[in-house]
Amino acid sequence: MFNSSLTAEEKELYISKIGHMAYMGAPEVSRTAGTCLNEMMTLLKNKRTSESLKESLLMAISEICYLNRDNQSKAVAAFPTLVDIMGSERIHMSRLACYCISCIVCNNFAAMQTLRDEPNLRKNLAGCLSVEVPWFGWSENYAILLVDILGLSEDISELKFNN
């Protein structure tokens, strides 16, 4: 799908447009964009992918999965990568991963159950919550949202208390 002759900037633009069209378009557009998820998740997992391209991928995956159960079900496979990114020392990337995960689990109990089983989820969520920098520019603190919707308040409090 992503032509290897495209420059990094062209890939970023292409990925962003796919995400925006999925979010703004009709269900058919979102379904079509969902066919790109596997390749997007592979790029996201690739250690050689630039951080700016990863940002575009996180936003596009979020937009493609927003309230689309079929796409959410496909994106569950990215949970290990997303949870790793959530544990990043780069605050912006960590927050984008929280947002992306929240879009994947939104109104999807099966996805929530799968996410709860991720080995580093609690530790990385606790790390996101311990960052003192406010979530200015975000409509919500998605780390807190994830803790609440996953019912992890006690687990996270215990982690924060023991560190």
Q: What's the predicted TM-score (pTM) here? A: 0.92
CA 115, CA 112: separation in Å to the nearest integer?
A: 5
User: What integer pLDDT is reported at residue 163 of this predicted model?
Assistant: 45
Q: What is the rounded (10 degree) CA torsion for 97, 48, 20, 114?
A: -40
- 14 burial type by CB count under 10 A (0-12 exposed, 13-18 middle, 19+ buried): middle
Per-residue pLDDT of the chain (163 residues; tens, 9 = 90+): 666 788 888 999 999 999 999 999 988 999 999 999 999 999 999 999 999 999 999 999 999 999 999 999 999 999 999 999 999 999 999 999 999 999 999 999 999 999 999 999 999 998 888 888 888 889 999 999 999 999 988 766 665 544 4
User: What integer pLDDT is reported at residue 5 of this predicted model?
Assistant: 82
Q: Mind giving me the DSSP string for 138-160?
A: SSS-HHHHHHHHHT-HHHHHHHH
* Helices 153-162 & 121-130 angle (0-180, nearest 10): 70
User: What integer pLDDT is reported at residue 161 of this predicted model?
Assistant: 43
User: What integer pLDDT is reported at residue 2 of this predicted model?
Assistant: 64
